[in-house]
Amino acid sequence: MVHAHQGSAGPQASWQPVKVLSPMNLPSASVAATRAIDLRYPRESWADYFVGWVPAGMILKMNLDNLAELIKSRARVDDRSNASDTAFELRLIGAVAFLECFFRDQWASIVNICPRLLNRLEERARQIRISPLALFELNTHPLRQLGSAVSEQFDFGTPRAINSAYKDLLGITPIGKRESTRLDRLLHDRNLLVHYGGVFRFQHKNPGFITSGSRRRYADSVIVTAPTALNVCTFMADLAQKTMKASAPAARHLTERMRVRLSREGRKAFDFLDAWV
């Protein structure tokens, strides 16, 4: 049995079971695409609800810990802890990418566990479009990774976009005003490194997240030292843990209020939404 969203519109839209017995249930143009489909999904596991089968917080912590160790290791070479280094710049760029993935995957995992939360997005006029056939390409039951597919249609690249996505789904804004300002500046510095080689331009915010000395336009560059890169990792870890502590209880509360009955593995997955180990 495959679960799919029936086409009813408006706030009352709900999830209903649809039996897919054979390719005859699908449009003739799609029959060829179904021949390799195997509907015998593996036995349910709590890990099915997470991207890469690992909770978002655990993935981020592992990546940040690895980055921190690489930064410290590089700093010990020729005592470069207070010198700017391309290796530190690359670590910072990677850390920002990992943080964006965390916000997306945490949001996606919550929807994977409780797809009915998508009704809240419809109530807020969020448009969701997913090809039914695309869901068959997943390695697990479609509903267990539905949120992952939906999350690709949302922007998690700025504090404002992140807060908007979490607000519509859970009614929370995980990034506070001060944190939003710091993250905006960090993203700007990251873009300066990626797109302009770190050289200051007229459009560069002053000050940015990274404190530097001289900021002459088209002359000086962002200075990324080991302490700076480690400070970025710490800031991201704090922000991620705050998000988990806010999103996990909110998701659980909404699920209970909507009277959604989760499977045993689904309930177990809820316990890992705030895992940071």
Q: Domains of the chain: which residue ranges? A: 2-270
The torsion angles phi and psi of 2, rounded to 5 degrees, stand at: -115, 135
d(CA 216, CA 200): 7
Q: Residue 4 in 3-state DSSP?
A: strand
Closest Cα partner for 253 from 162, 145, 175, 169? 169
10: left (phi over 0), alpha (psi -120 to 50) or beta: left
Beta-bridge partners for 3: 17
- Least-confidence region, from 62-76, 85-99, 219-233: 219-233
* Dihedral sign, Cα of residue 175, residue 121, residue 44, residue 50: negative
pLDDT (average), residues 11-29? 39
159-170 and 177-196 helices, crossing angle to 10°: 130
pLDDT of residue 22: 37
The model's pTM is: 0.80
- What is the CB neighbour count within 10 angstroms for residue 214? 9
C-alpha distance from residue 136 to each of 2, 37, 146, 193, 253 (Å): 9, 7, 11, 39, 31
C-alpha distance from residue 19 to each of 2, 130, 196, 276 (Å): 6, 18, 53, 39
Tokens for 41? 């999904």
Closest Cα partner for 39 from 18, 24, 21? 21
Do 203 and 143 form a contact (C-beta atoms < 8 A)? no
Do 270 and 106 form a contact (C-beta atoms < 8 A)? no
d(CA 173, CA 40): 39
pLDDT of residue 44: 79
pLDDT at 18 over 60: no
The torsion angles phi and psi of 74, rounded to 5 degrees, stand at: -65, -35
pLDDT at 51 over 50: yes
Beta-bridge partners for 15: 5
pLDDT of residue 78: 60
Tokens for 210? 């990274």
Give the pLDDT band of residue 8 (cuts 50, 70, 90).
very low
- Least-confidence region, from 24-28, 164-168, 193-197, 254-258: 24-28
pLDDT of residue 117: 95
**Residue % of the chain over a pLDDT of 90:** 49
pLDDT (average), residues 3-28? 39
Amino acid at 88: F
Do 272 and 55 form a contact (C-beta atoms < 8 A)? yes
pLDDT at 174 over 60: yes
pLDDT of residue 4: 41
d(CA 200, CA 56): 34
pLDDT of residue 217: 67
pLDDT at 34 over 60: no
Closest Cα partner for 206 from 217, 194, 196, 195? 217
- Least-confidence region, from 29-43, 134-148, 180-194: 29-43
- Least-confidence region, from 64-68, 77-81, 98-102, 138-142: 77-81
d(CA 23, CA 249): 41
Rg (CA), the chain: 22
Give the pLDDT band of residue 122 (cuts 50, 70, 90).
confident
